Amino acid sequence: MRQPPYQLRPNKAVDRLTLIDAIRQFRDAHDLREYTYYGMGGPWLEDFRLIYDFYPEIRMVSIESDENVYRRQQFHIPCHRVRLDLKRTEFNSFLASFGPEAGKSIFWLDYLWLRYAHIDEFMTLLGKVPADSMIKISLRCEPKDYLEDKKRKEFQREFEDVLPHPSVEPPVSFADLAKLVQEMIQIAAQKALSSAMPFKFVPVSSFCYADGAGMFTLTGIVCRRTDESKVKSAFRSWDLRNLSWGTPRLIDVPTLSTKERLHLQRQLPRGNNAGRTLLHALGYLIEDDRPQTEARLQQYADFHHYFPYFMKAIP
């Protein structure tokens, strides 16, 4: 089954907006005019549009290897080229010429697959960005990819350098696989920035979600080891924080009409048992049973600030 179009994936849209919010937590202690955002924005450059809307002072660089996607980017560019530089190149080629002299950075390594080459690029980048840079990495996290014994063995061979133990196999549970991928990223970060080095990669959030295929995504800050407490303090009050490599948080927002959302909005924010409260407010199930409905409505309560609106319009 084909995935829904990139721009119409609600969980992806929520994830995209959590990056915007992570930058908001970050900006009080940093001058965003000193930063450049680097991303793999795809044909619609949606993350670049959001960065420009919320933080127009940040310079932007898009990295794209496919010629036709690059041409679509030229058509969809959301601002003047002086603010957004479209580069047609492979990311590994870009990375080879990238260095600390480029200045403070915000990267989103938005990969479609789970490959060791992607983790290796992440490790290389950790060693190149200056202190106080932000890096977000997204990787495919789909248990169905590893149901065959052959695929499981290939997984062990490919990722042996970043597995917590050589005998670890990819779990059949989505949540467990997301946790394993996070452990692999943690090991990669520790290898790239060892305890003997002055810099450290500090996680600030991690999520897993599915919009046609499972995905894992983690955001962190490269900082001086002496500044780790400052980084954690900046994100301490953020509801979506994950500052200690805890379990990735699930994003699984429900499909709701605009009328339903406006109705539920009046019940928010809520503390405990928000899903139960919202179910009572609706008066009917939106999933197969009550527990599933409460769980999905709890997701709406947790992420309603990031929930996208998709509307039909006449061009």
Residue bearing tokens 């697959």? 113
pLDDT tens digit sequence for 38-86: 999 999 999 999 999 999 999 999 999 999 999 999 999 998 888 999 9
Instruction: Detail the DSSP E strand segments found in the chain.
Output: 36-39, 59-64, 84-88, 105-110, 133-140, 199-210, 214-224, 249-251
78 touches 37 (CB < 8 A): no
Show the domains of the chain with their CATH numbers: 6-251 (3.40.50.150), 258-306 (no CATH)
Tokens representing 14?
A: 């929520």
Tokens representing 173?
A: 């549970």
pTM for the full predicted model: 0.94
Tokens representing 72?
A: 């679509």
Tokens representing 189?
A: 């970060």
pLDDT tens digit sequence for 191-215: 999 999 999 999 999 999 998 899 9
The residue among 310, 127, 140 whose CA lies nearest residue 222 is: 127
179 touches 247 (CB < 8 A): yes
Q: Enumerate long-range contacts of 176-182, CB under 8 Å, 24 or more apart.
A: 177/141, 177/142, 177/143, 177/214, 177/216, 178/141, 178/208, 178/214, 178/216, 178/248, 179/247, 179/248, 181/114, 181/139, 181/141, 181/216, 182/206, 182/216, 182/218, 182/245, 182/248
pLDDT at 8 over 50: yes
pLDDT tens digit sequence for 139-194: 999 999 999 999 999 999 999 999 999 999 999 999 999 999 999 999 999 999 99
| pLDDT band per the 50, 70, 90 thresholds, residue 1 | very low
- Residue 269, preceding peptide bond in cis (omega within 30° of 0): yes
Mean pLDDT of 221-228: 97
**pLDDT score for 307:** 85
Mean pLDDT of 260-275: 92
| pLDDT band per the 50, 70, 90 thresholds, residue 310 | low
Count CB neighbours of 314 within 10 A. 3
pLDDT at 6 over 90: no
